[in-house]
Structure 1
Amino acid sequence: MCGYGWGNGWNSGWGGGGILMTVLMVVLLVAVIVAIIFAVRYLSGSGSSHHRGGPGLEGMRAEDRLADRFARGEIDEDEFRKRMTLLREHR
């Protein structure tokens, strides 16, 4: 018997196409959210070191790192001079 109620007839329930469409909609929604996050990060400048005012520690030369540590007080003058001499000798 083909009625119009829930679970009766050929077109009731989700079926194979409905499940596929649901999965595709979830994937599309996730892709839109990820695109929005990347756009906000790109426009705000938090995604790369070029927008933050210079290279990070990875982009610094060894001499610059050493000078930075000396300026912050992590090493004293004697240690700074010894290490700078070693760096210049082993270029």
Structure 2
Amino acid sequence: MMHGWGYGMRGFFGGGILMMGLFWIVIIIAVIYFIRNSDQSRDENSPRRVKENPIEIARERYANGEISKEEFQEIKEELRK
């Protein structure tokens, strides 16, 4: 008597190991994908943030009233040097 070790093992070695390996590869790839894409959803202070043009930043600050016209002109002149 073999107690279930006969024909059932052929299925395991015939394709079960391959399917289990494929399953774990898909899981690992999915985890890597989600980790990489979660970096893009960080806050604005993220080091991966796309850098804006300094003159555009100064223009926005001037438009928001954060800096005066004179300060804006000084920034523009300094950046053009």
Q: Give the alignment's TM-score, normalised by structure 2.
A: 0.47
- Structure with the bigger RCO (C-alpha within 8 Å, sep 6+) is 2
Q: Give the alignment's TM-score, normalised by structure 1.
A: 0.43
